[in-house]
Amino acid sequence: MIWTKEQAKTLADRALALSKAEQTFVAINGSERASVRFARNTVTTAGATSAVSLAITSRFGKRSGTVTTARFDDASLQTALRNAEEIAKVSPENPEAMPLLGPQTYTPATAYFDDVASATPEWRASSVATAIALAKKNEVVSAGFVETQAAMQAVASSQGLFAYDRFTAADYNLTARTPDGSGSGWASKSFNQLGLLRPDVLAETAISKAAMARNPTGIEPGTYTVVLEPAAVADMVAFMLFSANARQADEGRSFFAKKGGGNRIGEQIVGDGVRIYSDPAHPLAPTVSFDNEGLPAEKRVWVEKGVLQNLFYSRFWAQKMGKAPISTPSNVIMDGGTATMADLIAGTQRGLLVTRFWYIRPLDPQTILLTGLTRDGLFLIENGKVTRPVRNMRWNESPVVALNNVDAMTAPERVVSGEGVGGSGLSLVCPAARIREFRFTSSSDAV
């Protein structure tokens, strides 16, 4: 359910007025989501869901309690408020509790587009029909997912805070597999506007990649130069950035900790060609204008010329360390270069072209060592040309090492990572990149 700013404000004011706590914070979230899923060249499931919920945090001094409810009549609000107040009263004091925010100034966001909010079941079905028709024509088996959603969120406090915003997202991704099970290709995009989504182009990309990937042969695990498509670069960047918590660093519990104490802000951590930042007003990846506590979302550079510029500081840790609070990234944008994909491949003597990564998990937080696999198109590059598809492999590598070994990049584009990061939850903009000495540790029989 997408409420207007006035409707959200009315509910927030009612909840605050009925509160008996010393301080009260409320958060309202509403959404309208609809999707179609397909596989085996046919529709499998489709659905729509409409929801709105209210979270209430009651505070007495440094004691707090939180409850959520989906009922908004006065009696239900009273019940939820009393429950939150009861929890707060029995909760021990939290010395780290920060006062609730008062009024803030926000830059208006542009992340909501009517064409997504008004997308019909017929549009979603027709977008799937396009992919299935192309798959059948090219004699591959398609599976995929299309989703449109509109969402609103509002936060308010007894200290005078009120913020309201909305966003939309349209996601489309699909996999094409050859009928003999020997080749697989994938493509994925997410945008805030429906008009930017091209199901036909995505289907053609996945289908052509499946054909290219057919009948892969084995290759020895080892260290290779890799040309990572933007989805794979996004996985590396996102994993590194989401380890960038100032408190963990200052306490010695992260890659960003300095030996002997403190953190590594100001140190060169990756290659000097790397710039990573967040910008809620980025035209390809607009986001809402505030975070969960009501702090304004701001443009923030994390890495400039390979040097760590910022870590995220909770309000408590910022106060303790004499810094300004910095929210977690509102989106992740990595600048690219001037090369084309063809250039990246042409400049590779011997290496691997990677479509996407899969099942990435951290192995060692000390070095941000990750493990994962390639999927849906891994190709050998020899003498500047893609020569043959090869079997997938497992890799063990740190994004810090990888981003130190970047030697060429394309222009960045809006991208969805291999495990879906970059869709409606967090917008990513990344280039493709050629990276030296990427470590593969074993081969996978999976196609």
Partner 1 sequence: MDRRQFVQSMIALGAASSASPEVLFGQGSSELRDLADAALATAKKLGATYADIRINRYRNQFIFTRDRRVQNIANTDDHGFGIRLIVDGTWGFASSSAVSKDEIARVAAQAVGIAKANRAINQEPVRLAPVEGFDTSWNTPVKKNPFEMPLQPKLDLLLQIHEEALKVPGASFVSAFMQFVNEHKYFASSEGSHIEQSLIRTYPSFTITAVDKATGKFYSRRSLTSPMGMGYEYVESYPLLQEARVAAEEAVATHKAKPAPSGPKTLILHPSNLWLTIHESVGHPTELDRALGYEANFAGTSFLTTDKLGTFQFGSKLVNLVADRTQENGMATCGYDDDGVKSSRWHLVKDGTFVDYQTTRDQAHLIGQKASHGCSYADSWGSVPFQRMPNVSLEAGTKDVSEADIISATADGVYVKGDASFSIDHQRYNFQFSGQTFWEVKNGKITTQLRDLAYQSNTPEFWKACDMLGGPSTYALGGAFNDGKGQPVQSNSVSHGCPIARFAGVNILNTGQ
Per CB under 8 A, contacts with partner 1 among 156-175 are 173-175
For partner 1, the closer CB: 343 or 397: 397
CB of residue 194 vs partner 1: minimum separation in angstroms?
16
Q: How far is the CB of 446 from partner 1 (least distance, A)?
A: 4
223 near partner 1, judged by CB under 8 A: no
Subset of 178-207 contacting partner 1 (CB under 8 A): 181, 184, 186
Q: Which amino acid would we find at residue 296?
A: P
Provide, rounded to whole angstroms, the least separation between the CB of residue 170 and partner 1: 14
Closer of 6 and 220 to partner 1 (Cβ):
6
Tell me how far apart the alpha carbons of residues 428 and 3 are, in angstroms, rounded to a whole number.
Answer: 27
Question: Which residue, 108 or 261, is less far from partner 1 as judged by CB?
Answer: 261
Stretch that binds partner 1, among 276-284, 289-297, 317-325, 355-363 (CB under 8 A): 355-363
120 binds partner 1 (CB under 8 A): yes
Kindly state the number of chain residues that form the binding site for partner 1, as judged by CB under 8 A. 105
Distance, C-alpha 93 to centroid of its chain: 34
d(CA 261, CA 248): 11
Closer to partner 1 by Cβ: residue 53 or 104: 53
As a whole number of angstroms, the distance between CA 226 and CA 344 comes to 9
Does residue number 307 form part of the binding site for partner 1 (CB under 8 A)? no
Which residues, including other chains, have CB under 8 Å from residue 241's CB and lie 6 or more apart? 276, 302, 329, 332
Cβ–Cβ under 8 Å, residues 408 and 433: yes
Burial class (CB in 10 A: 0-12, 13-18, 19+), 133: middle
Beta carbon of residue 337, minimum distance to partner 1 (angstroms, whole number): 30
396 contacts partner 1 (rule: CB under 8 A): yes
Q: What is the DSSP letter of 195?
A: G
**Only segment of 91-99, 152-160, 302-310, 406-414 that touches partner 1 (CB under 8 A):** 91-99
- Calculate the alpha carbon distances from 135 to 40, 42, 412 in Å: 10, 11, 28
Among 12, 16, 34, 276, which residue interacts with partner 1 (rule: CB under 8 A)?
34
Sequential DSSP letters for 89-118: HHSPP-TT--PPP-----PPP----HHHHT
